[in-house]
Amino acid sequence: MDIRQELGKFLTKCDLDFAFSYSRSTKSAPNPALQLAGLGTVGLPLGERDAEAIKSKANVVVSGRRRRTASPKAASSTWEMDAKSIAFKDPKWDSFMLGISMRVSQGLGMSKQDSFRTLYKLEKLIMCGVGSRVSPCADAEKANGAFATIVVTLPSEFTGGATRLSHSGLPVVYDCSQTSLNHTTVIAWYAGVSHEVEPVASGYRLVLVYSLYCAIPGLKPVMKSSEAVVAQLRQILTAWKASLTGTTAAAAQKFVCLLKNRYDYDDIKHGASSLEGRDANVAAILGFLAKDVGLQVGLASASFEITGSVDEDRGWDDWNYGERKPEGMEFDEVESKSLDVGTVVDLDGNKVCEDLKVDLYNEVVPVDFVERVQEGEPEDQDAMDCGGGCGPWRLERWYNVSVLILWSSLDGSGNIMV
């Protein structure tokens, strides 16, 4: 089996639009100007004083049931308030949630056109304190036809509280605690998906819970099974692992896979929680299977550079009187290509290594990695006159991309084996 070729086919051609969950974290979300009945405006990020005030007015959740209390010292670590007690004074919040509902819908498999017909409804606010958790459960489809749940974590400093989801044997974990102080994080999943929330270790997690449903019932998406896809990828990864441990191992020690979307390093350094759509699905499957097979998965930002010459016969008129106009130029001959991979983090955002060396002929996925990168717009480019205005000309282009790295083991210095 040609592992590189098969892995490339899987990542580019396989139907990966089976997502059962969605996650996005952003620093640019508007402050909703949250107002709660009996309390007034609640400041964000959530502070200790406002957290104590919420306790005095909210319903205490005890063993899955709610009871009204006026005591902030009640023996519970979870508090709720119904939608009727919640208001948002910043109109930008509704626009933000409209955009989120469309992103979630598309992330869960709806077309862009159909996502315009989705509606969202606020259900409640939940504040989770130390020890608060949600045991494994699966929400049934609601009477109003809601097909998914959206949980928006508002800026509030806490640790723990990771959300664990599972469907068709495929688990995924979303942990937003590292960026919780200044980010708003959206996590969504289909009705019927098993979910649990790990205990909060410190601080308070403040979330808004929404239901997502279709204005036209016939457009409601159906959650797909991932079993066949998982089985196919498991076969590829198992064959690769076997080739690495065999006596005649000839396969690459690592593969650098091109992601569909480009992410800023400030986002991707937090791990898989920064990925969207197909990229998030790929990371979830690979993260799950790699652990079983004995492989490891990471993410990184990378810069692809290509340098070469341009047709030497062009004169001043063709080059706009000698000005450097690299847009639209085509390489006459490529002299060099390189991929500079920056800091690699695992799917949880933990640093693995820096400055990874990559073999563009044997280690990049898919096989047409270089061609796919050049389909996008370059981040920067420059044409240099090497012959007094009449050529030859030297053209350089740089492309920023995001990659997923698969590897088997680290060397003695803690770096990915090359």
Long-range CB pairs of 218-221, under 8 A, 24+ apart, other chains included: 219/110, 219/114, 219/117, 220/145, 220/147, 221/105, 221/108, 221/109, 221/110, 221/114, 221/147
Average pLDDT (359-382) is 92
Q: At residue 315, does pLDDT exceed 60? A: no
pLDDT for 373: 95
Given pLDDT bands bounded at 50, 70 and 90, which one contains residue 248? low
Mean pLDDT, residues 161-182 taken together = 88
Could you tell me the two tokens for 320? 């706009």
pLDDT surpasses 60 at 405: yes
Q: pLDDT-based confidence at 229, cuts 50/70/90?
A: confident
Amino acid 33: pLDDT: 97
Q: Which pLDDT score is estimated for 15?
A: 64
- Over range 198-213, report the average pLDDT: 96
With a cut of 90, say whether residue 192 has pLDDT above it. no
Higher pLDDT, 254 or 284: 254
pLDDT-derived band at 143, boundaries 50, 70, 90:
low
Of the candidates 151, 160, 162, 153, the one whose C-alpha atom is nearest the C-alpha of residue 130 is 160
What's the whole-number mean pLDDT along residues 7-36? 86
Question: Which 3-state string (H, E, C) describes the chain?
Answer: CCHHHHHHHHHHHCCCCCCCEEEEEECCCCCCCEEECCCEECCCCECHHHHHHHHHHCEEEECCEEEECCCCCCCCCEEEEEHHHEEECCCHHHHHHHHHHHHHHHHCCCCHHHHCCEEEEEEEEEEECECCCEEEEECCCCCCCCCEEEEEECCECEEECCEEEEECCEEEEECCHHHCCCCEEEEEEECCCEEEECCEEEECEEEEEEEEEECCHHHCCCCCCCHHHHHHHHHHHHHHHHHHHCCCCCCCCEEEEECCCCCCHHHHCCCHHHCCHHHHHHHHHHHHHHHHHCCEEEEEEEEEEEEEEECCCCCCCCCCCCCCCCCCCCCCEEEEEEEEECCEEECCCCEEECCECCCCCCCEECCCHHHHHCCCCCCEEEEEECCCCCCCEEEEEEEEEEEEEEECCECCCCCECC
Binned at pLDDT 50, 70 and 90, residue 281 comes out as confident
pLDDT at residue 120 above 90?
A: yes
Structure confidence at residue 140 (pLDDT): 59
Report pLDDT for 388: 57
Q: What domains can be seen in the chain, in order of their start residue?
A: 3-13+228-407 (no CATH), 21-219 (2.60.120)
pTM strictly above 0.85: no
Per-residue pLDDT of 43-97, as tens digits, reads 999 999 999 999 999 999 875 545 444 444 445 799 999 999 999 999 999 999 9
Percent of all residues in the chain with a pLDDT value above 90, rounded to a whole number: 48
* Confidence band for 255, pLDDT divided at 50, 70 and 90: very high
pLDDT (average), residues 201-223 = 85
Find which of 7-11, 172-176, 257-261, 266-270 is predicted with most confidence, using mean pLDDT.
Answer: 257-261
Residue-level pLDDT at 215 = 80
pLDDT at position 321 is: 46
| pLDDT of 102 strictly over 70 | yes
